[in-house]
Amino acid sequence: MKDNGKDDVVEIFEPGEEDDELYSVLDDDRRAELDELVGLHVEGLELWETSLGDEDADEPVTPENRAFFDVDLLFEGGMALELYVATVFPGPDSDPVVGLDGIYEIVGKLSDEQLELLDYEQADDDGGLALAFGKGDKTHQVIVANAWMISEWEEADEEDEEEA
């Protein structure tokens, strides 16, 4: 009898990533997690050159035509908000930024200017997450992501930085 593949094991996750779950719809648990980030400023970030959405693009994604990106936002207190297939709007009434250089420039202001997460909401009826960043009551930029995850990051101690 021929092997029908029932004994084959297909690994979907990399080892150690089994607990990582991307979210795309706001529920009570996700709201509680995000509520902890409201009012905190972004201390750092890691912007990726590729995005999970690149595979679904109609045409090859180049730095010049990139509209979607993935970024890890590092908040004070050791919390990280990982955003996937995101777009950035330099203001609440602006068009989305296109081009990797422009995305770096606008998203970089989150940590350079220590902007705070002011508010969030589900992006639309299908899900996603819309985030407003700024200072006080003034929104400086909006990021909309198709998926997200909250994780932790270790803040470097000043002593560790001096030793490096």
In the block, which residue shows the tokens 């690149």?
54
For 152, residues 6+ apart whose C-beta sits below 8 A from its C-beta are: 78, 79, 80
List the chain pLDDT tens, one digit each, 164 residues.
444 443 333 333 333 443 468 999 999 999 999 999 999 999 999 999 999 999 988 889 999 999 999 999 999 999 999 999 999 999 989 999 999 999 999 999 999 999 999 999 999 999 999 999 999 999 999 999 999 999 998 876 544 555 55
Question: Can you state the percent helix, strand and coil of the chain, rounding each to 5?
Answer: 20, 35, 45
